[in-house]
A and B are shown apart, each in its own frame.
Chain A
Amino acid sequence: MLAKLPRIQDPNFLVGFDHSDDAAVYKLTDELAMVQTLDFFPPMVEDPYVFGQVAAANALSDIYAMGAVPKTALNIVCFPAKLDMGILDQILRGGSEKVMEAGAVLAGGHSIDDVDVKYGLSVTGLVDPRKIYTNIGCRAGDVLILTKPLGVGIVCSADRVGEASEDAMTHAVKSMITLNKYAAEVLGRYPVHALTDVTGFGFLGHLHEMLAGQVSAIVVSGQVPHIPQALHYAEEFLITGAAQRNRNFLEDYVQIEPGVSFGLEELLFDPQTSGGLLASVPARVAKELVAELEQLGLPCGIVGEIIPRVEKEIMVR
């Protein structure tokens, strides 16, 4: 959509070289750049306090995906004036706690009266411009590492129609409210060739952006960390429209080999809220890196490898 707007030329505006990144990076000095992002959405969980936490963890995630540290945050609130203000208090409490955990300052915000509830944040962070992670740069021989389980989209959608178990929701909520801060700190100690966070376009959609038409990837579906019940819900066709839109968009790029179960396929297209980081790293560091990530307590792992460009961009086996 941005394509229709006039493009501003400024040598300090660094994220001109990759339009698929979600945050804007502006160089202040040779050692310091400012990273800005914003994200807000309607609730995907019942509990307003949890929703606030999820929305904040999700908004902060883009900062971590750039290798930056969040410094200030501003609330974005749409809330019906006739609704119980106690609900809003809980949403904001959830949000502010996550901003605090991130080590940033919640500096204010703006709210408007609206028919539906929506909440999110605008976050500003800082990074050394020489150490920015972008979502492109995968090299043949790299392995792909995912730091959170897939399936939160399917579980939340099953929950909306009363089909999700309490245990499944507990898994999904734990994953969504976990800041990518911790995984980013671990990744910071290793060489990382490309980094992104998995959100609305699903695992395969974000992987497609990372490959940038330069290299191909083999995804080992059996190794993809996921919420166990999500697989079951997908097999029961508790599937989402957004996953199908992702599937349609990626049709030409992805080849799913026979033997991959329908449920796993659906998980790979499932849009994620506050999903994990997806990193492309040299194979030699992968094992040690994953061992460190596992200490953080969420399902994670090596999910595939980067190979030189072949006809299909992504092969799922």
Chain B
Amino acid sequence: MRREIDATGLACPLPVIETKKALKDMSQGQLDVVVDNAISLQNLEKMAKQMGLDYSLETVDDARHIIHIQVGEGAQTAEERQVLTRKRAGKKVVVLSSDQMGAGHPELGRVLMNSFIFALTELENLPDQVLLYNGGVKLAVAGSDALADLQTLAEQGVEIVSCGTCLNFFELTQELAVGSITNMYEIVQCQMEAAIIIQP
């Protein structure tokens, strides 16, 4: 299927909006969007790049620019493609290796860590994963002050994973109250594949 949108005469953001609408309805094929200025073409390119789409650009003359967008193999919707892009771009991983934040006073460290985790829940762009090992696993067990906030994160799709060896060591395996248990292989894997690791 090949579709063309004539977006000449339309001011930004209209060409982008029209393109987004068309992409939503298309499962396969090529979408050509024609605009009449280079800036609109650049905005379409930004969108295609962000959405992880295959595209090529063509400038016929000053008043005619075209973006050719290839729409996926299989029946991917635009949303699925966005998720894929995010995955491909690497995850944001928060690593908590202690129940305290920073070195100084342990009591202060614990207060800071709890407010760090609360602040995470307030983020516009949540991390993909929170990785807990060593003393960090104490945050995810029953009775932890940070438990409610970790649960909030989990409900919003953030993966909470605790190190099994560590839970065993502290004899807290039965007390784990949020997320799942993982092993060193996965801990290494997660960190190797992360786009960014945040370690307070």
Contacts and interface: CB of A to CB of B under 8 A. Distances in A.
A and B bind: yes
Interface of A: 157-158, 161, 163, 228, 231, 236-241, 244-245, 247-248, 258-259, 261-262
Nearest to B123: A222
B124 A244 contact: no
A239 B46 contact: yes
Categorize the interface residue count of chain B.
20 to 34
B13 A157 contact: yes
A179 to B, nearest CB: 29
A81 to B, nearest CB: 26
A258 B195 contact: yes
Interface string B78-118: 00000000000000100000000000000000000000000
Contacts of B195: 258-259
Contacts of A161: 13-14, 17
A237 B47 contact: yes
B125 A240 contact: no
A157 B12 contact: yes
A41 to B, nearest CB: 15
A238 B17 contact: yes
A248 B50 contact: no
Given A237-B17, A241-B43, 16 more contacts: A157-B13, A163-B17, A236-B20, A237-B13, A237-B43, A237-B46, A237-B47, A239-B12, A239-B43, A239-B46, A241-B12, A241-B39, A244-B12, A244-B43, A262-B46, A262-B50
A236 B13 CA distance: 10
A82 to B, nearest CB: 24
A245 B39 contact: yes
A239 B42 CA distance: 11
Interface in B27-41: 37, 39-40
B13 A240 contact: yes
B125 A261 contact: yes
A161 B10 CA distance: 11
6 contacts: A239-B43, A239-B46, A241-B12, A244-B12, A244-B39, A258-B195
Contacts of B17: 161, 163, 237-238
A237 B39 contact: no
B16 interface: yes
Given A231-B124, A248-B42, A262-B50, A241 B11 contact: yes
B196 interface: yes
B70 to A, nearest CB: 18
A258 B196 contact: yes
Contacts of A231: 124
A223 B192 CA distance: 28
Nearest to B37: A241
Contacts of B43: 237, 239, 241, 244
Nearest to B92: A259
Nearest to B50: A262
Interface in B110-155: 124-125
Contacts of A258: 195-196
Contacts of B13: 157-158, 161, 237-240
B199 to A, nearest CB: 14
Contacts of B50: 237, 262
A98 B148 CA distance: 48
